[in-house]
Chains A and B, each alone.
Chain A
């Protein structure tokens, strides 16, 4: 749950959602549902997650499925966190 809060905070900041993201749930769709989440924003989001949560993202991680929903993104981050 803590990871979800952190991820939503980063999403909110990167996309300038002014707090809106803090109310998202696992089921909230991201890619395709949030207009602010274009290609450039995806790149900024990855950078922010790397810098702030300490994950490393590789080229082949960049997949539509990862960014489909809050749940998929949180699961991705959890998997990538250093053990």
Chain B
């Protein structure tokens, strides 16, 4: 049986967007039983979670899944600056990654998102001609929350200079006027921030399976309240939904790079388990 293997290469971006996208492909052991596109989170969370993403990609490949990880326009080692990135380009990147896998393997498609990547995965899935399933790690249910966090970060970073209160208001005004937001060393175009702000985890018209995983360090952890409502909506739309909270660190934001082995194990079981809910 063919062994699992990993290779890295550049794909030309889908027209009309210029440049290239760095991809990491985890080829499956044997015939692929699923194809999986990893949809990364943004900004620092992308950097901090790289290791977990790589670990899981390899594990999934060993379990028979073909996994493609793609650096989005302006992110990681792909072409372009974040200042020129757009939600539309990012959707195209995910669609292109899915198409690449589907051309090579005849197997069900999964979109695997982490944090804000779940919002992009949901948006991408809604527009795909192919039906797909979703694997969501610690989903952000509303893009609005993320934008709020960014504005808070802006305020917090100016707090010690005594400018905290004014900073967030000023940033909002600038964004409304179409100017980019500069925060934590990143320059974010206003249109991208606006797209993210509008993004939600509303279920798509065509639903399949949804595997939802959250991570917590608390012994008595339950799902986040916002998650409960979202899961109900997906069930109401006819999706086969399974959800879990596992023990582990918030590896996408911890100061030191950390791994969450319980999440890896649960995710592998969730995706590769043939039982239907």
Query: C-beta contact mask, A21-37 vs B, less than 8 Å → 1, else 0?
Result: 00000000001100010
**B interface residue count range (under 10 / 10 to 19 / 20 to 34 / 35 or more):** 20 to 34
Q: In the assembled complex, which residues on chain B have CB atoms less than 8 Å from the CB atom of A31?
A: 159-160
Distance (whole angstroms) from the CB of B19 to the closest CB of chain A:
30
Q: In the assembled complex, which residues on chain B have CB atoms less than 8 Å from the CB atom of A63?
A: 159, 164-165
Whole-angstrom CA separation of A36 from B155 in the bound complex: 18
Please tell me if the beta carbons of B255 and A62 are within 8 angstroms of each other in the complex: no
Kindly identify which residue among B165, B217, B225 contacts A62, using a CB–CB cutoff of 8 Å.
B165
Q: In the assembled complex, which residues on chain B have CB atoms less than 8 Å from the CB atom of A51?
A: 224-225
Please tell me if the beta carbons of A16 and B168 are within 8 angstroms of each other in the complex: no
Please tell me if the beta carbons of B255 and A16 are within 8 angstroms of each other in the complex: yes
Please tell me if the beta carbons of B159 and A59 are within 8 angstroms of each other in the complex: no
Query: Please, how many residues of chain A have a CB less than 8 angstroms from a CB on the other chain?
Result: 20
**Chain B CB within 10 A, most for which of A40, A62, A63:** A62
**Chain B CB within 10 A, most for which of A16, A31, A43, A51:** A43
Whole-angstrom CA separation of A40 from B218 in the bound complex: 21
- Contact A42 to B149, CB < 8 A, known contacts A13-B217, A60-B165, A62-B168: no
The chain B residue sitting closest to A57, CB to CB, is: B152
Please tell me if the beta carbons of B169 and A43 are within 8 angstroms of each other in the complex: no
Please tell me if the beta carbons of A40 and B153 are within 8 angstroms of each other in the complex: yes
Whole-angstrom CA separation of A43 from B153 in the bound complex: 6
Query: C-beta contact mask, B196-228 vs A, less than 8 Å → 1, else 0?
Result: 000000000000000000000110000011000
Please tell me if the beta carbons of A62 and B159 are within 8 angstroms of each other in the complex: yes
Distance (whole angstroms) from the CB of A48 to the closest CB of chain B:
10
**A72 interfacial by beta-carbon distance below 8 Å:** no
- Contact A16 to B159, CB < 8 A, known contacts A40-B153, A59-B151, A60-B165: no
Q: For chain B, residues 251 to 266, give those with C-beta under 8 angstroms from any C-beta of chain A.
A: 253-255
Please tell me if the beta carbons of A39 and B169 are within 8 angstroms of each other in the complex: no
**B162 interfacial by beta-carbon distance below 8 Å:** yes
Whole-angstrom CA separation of A47 from B162 in the bound complex: 21
Q: In the assembled complex, which residues on chain A have CB atoms less than 8 Å from the CB atom of B162?
A: 64
Nearest first, the 3 closest Cβ-Cβ pairs linking A and B are A59-B168, A39-B156, A42-B156
Chain A residues with a Cβ under 8 A of chain B: 13, 16, 31-32, 36, 39-40, 42-44, 46-47, 51, 57, 59-60, 62-64, 67
